[in-house]
Structure 1
């Protein structure tokens, strides 16, 4: 009976994701909220955690990026990149993912990619490169940066004394194994993805949007040429202000001791990284508007702000539905996965992958399953090599960075497929997972 209910609930969740994807825009959020209603009011499940921090991070970063667009900074950056990409047009598929990976590696959160994804999309589109290629790898690379970042909650969980820290594993072991493994995996995924799909101008969805006037490639090309010939001098200052905000996020993410601490009722707490990002990026939006002499009206009327708000609403419903379903059935999933791993220890990386799909959190997956791996006698270094398997939440196309990437790609090439699971991120996700784990095993074999 329990198994039947879980399957029924999963069917409803997938069906609502499918309907929301077909509707498009904020449809994902609307139908995701319908799912929350069904799970809570009909099945009696406790509501999951509302993704407040994710939504606020998106809102703050998008506000700063929209201000940058209004000040001409985004066009200026795209114009500079376009000159280089005319000589090496396919390199955005490599440079974009490596950039999001590096940002997340340093800051410890995949949400820093929100400021980079619209830029990557614009560079690809204006260079006539299928945006799906760099956008999918860049989105996966952002998550991969967490499994190797010295600042991430997942890495902190792995090296805690009650997990691998008590087995002799130190931070340097995580960095030595996971960073090169992730780097190689991203390069391999970029190489493969660069050959996937039709060229942008041959894509039916792109052609439809051009015919309907949703995209005007000739106007964009003319605007690009104009930007390169006579860039707005104020745009440079807005770009510098934006980059300063990004650098500050990285600095505070890399050195937590720099973040302010507060004592309340005798308890000392430190400003969290989500709060830091929100404060910095919203404040930097004001600086960008000031130095770029742009108006708030221009910022909210741009396509960046619209896409970002669509993503935030979509995440509100979809992520809440997913969290409600998986946490409501957590004991069911844990017991079934534990049975499989006990019988076949070599499948532990598969168990990590599946559990991460259910939990939408690398740190939670580590805290849930790594004790089982230690109890099963799996070598600690093997668990380190398996660490990237906790990035499996790309499997369902409802993780915030995926939703944001879909909305930022105005050409429609980055998409959720007809059958939901055949979405744009699957290929890059599986390639990076397999390659990073494989390279990790090679490193521990020859280095230790």
Structure 2
């Protein structure tokens, strides 16, 4: 019976991934309905906490975008990238990493990818090198960001056993080392443009050659009046969240009692609730102080992306959690001995599931509780956290497709066999090195 149930789960994920957008969410609900009404499976707890985190963070990021703060950040990044064009393969991923770390979502990188591609082309550096590792860097940063939904899910699952600071002091350096390992792999990836037969053939077309060689003059519109102020407000909100994670005594504690979504049984405010209220309060401050409107926020592209993410998380995680809950004993019996003797093998399971779910938060929420029930200690789970970044394996994630479309030379590509694409090698190397570094840091830090 478990194999039939698993086939339904897998089918829903594959079909939902082909539908894109909210496809994963709605197909997850179809599978969940089959589980409940056909197999009489008891539904698990829906992932309300992760959904609220995504909604809060994305709303605030969309407010930042509507106030012009995102444009201001992009212009700062453009100055950095254009200042040292020969180092674009290094600077590109570092900038996208920092942006995602700051914003908690990889969707912020869409504005950076065309700049990275253009700088590479002008310097005749193969754009595939910088674009591929830049996308991977933005994904890894999600598992190091203090305000990402994936990090919040980890805190919720390991509530009371690990702090935000414990996660950051391992995952930030581990993912950075992983990104640098990917940079090394990509530094000489493929042929230089001046030696690439496909590019040289395209340059025979006068129109294409003119577009490549033309000097791009900046015709940027003036920044909105509150752009810089909005960035400051957002930064202060992120800083406050990090401080609360490091010093929980900052927030009030209440007496013991029944826990809820905001307060645990011991009376402490949950970190997820702190992120939600601080982020939305920051959104209110940006709207009030930076002369933007709620209508502009609702129309922002980040807000639309966040809405799709919430629906996807809702369906696919609820479906996966119900499957795991029903079959926990069999799964623990099958995997228990192997995982207890070699905890790192659980990272493989995290990576494989993330390939299908296309979401770090969904993978964390769906599978990390199993790691806890298998007896894996919290520090080891933190070391394995970057393994949930397998969403690059199947080239359907929006950031991958955007990078391919922004590369006018065609060097960033999807291979003939689907998985032999530009992001595969840097992605595998970066994630593997990040997890290995995480385990090393756990041993050093104790």
Q: Same fold (TM over 0.5)?
A: yes
Cα distance in 2 for residues equivalent to 1:65 and 1:445: 36
Please name the residue that 1:211 is paired with: none
Please name the residue that 1:8 is paired with: 4
Cα distance in 2 for residues equivalent to 1:388 and 1:428: 20
Cα distance in 2 for residues equivalent to 1:32 and 1:354: 20
Please name the residue that 1:210 is paired with: none
Please name the residue that 1:113 is paired with: 104
The yes-or-no answer on 1:125 pairing with 2:123 is no
Please name the residue that 2:143 is paired with: 143
Q: CA RMSD in A?
A: 4.7
Cα distance in 2 for residues equivalent to 1:391 and 1:47: 28
User: Structure 1 residues 232, 390: closer, same or farther in 2, change over 3 A?
Assistant: closer
Q: Kindly provide the CA deviation profile for residues 16-46 of structure 1, in whole angstroms up to 9, marking residues without a partner as x.
A: 1121121111122111111111222222222
The yes-or-no answer on 1:301 pairing with 2:293 is no
Cα distance in 2 for residues equivalent to 1:260 and 1:327: 34
Cα distance in 1 for residues equivalent to 2:25 and 2:421: 18
Question: Contact between 2:143 and 2:151, CA under 8 Å: does it hold in 1?
Answer: no
Question: Contact between 1:357 and 1:395, CA under 8 Å: does it hold in 2?
Answer: yes
Question: Contact between 1:394 and 1:426, CA under 8 Å: does it hold in 2?
Answer: no
Q: Kindly provide the CA deviation profile for residues 240-294 of structure 1, in whole angstroms up to 9, marking residues without a partner as x.
A: 1121222122221221111222236697512111111111111111111122211
Match of 2:308 among 286, 307, 310: 310
The correspondence of residues 374-393 of structure 1 with structure 2, limited to 5 A, is 388-389=383-384, 391-393=386-388
User: Structure 1 residues 326, 445: closer, same or farther in 2, change over 3 A?
Assistant: closer
Unpaired segments ≥5 residues, structure 2: 118-126, 193-215, 259-264, 354-362, 406-412
Structure 1 residue 322 displacement after superposition: 1.6
Q: Kindly provide the CA deviation profile for residues 137-174 of structure 1, in whole angstroms up to 9, marking residues without a partner as x.
A: 3323432679999x9578888789xxxxxxxxxx99x9
Please name the residue that 1:284 is paired with: 282
Match of 2:177 among 174, 184, 196: 184
The correspondence of residues 341-352 of structure 1 with structure 2, limited to 5 A, is 345=341, 347-351=342-346
Q: Kindly provide the CA deviation profile for residues 67-93 of structure 1, in whole angstroms up to 9, marking residues without a partner as x.
A: 111111111211221122123443131
The correspondence of residues 25-174 of structure 1 with structure 2, limited to 5 A, is 25-88=21-84, 89-90=88-89, 91-97=91-97, 100=100, 113-114=104-105, 117-128=106-117, 133-143=133-143
Structure 2-normalised TM-score? 0.69
- SS of 2:220's partner is helix
Question: Contact between 1:188 and 1:431, CA under 8 Å: does it hold in 2?
Answer: yes
User: Structure 1 residues 100, 366: closer, same or farther in 2, change over 3 A?
Assistant: farther
Match of 1:360 among 343, 354, 364: 364
Unpaired segments ≥5 residues, structure 1: 104-111, 161-170, 200-220, 374-382
User: Structure 1 residues 273, 443: closer, same or farther in 2, change over 3 A?
Assistant: closer
Cα distance in 1 for residues equivalent to 2:445 and 2:21: 48
Match of 1:411 among 399, 402, 411: 402
Question: Contact between 1:67 and 1:299, CA under 8 Å: does it hold in 2?
Answer: yes
Question: Contact between 1:397 and 1:420, CA under 8 Å: does it hold in 2?
Answer: no
Question: Contact between 1:55 and 1:315, CA under 8 Å: does it hold in 2?
Answer: yes
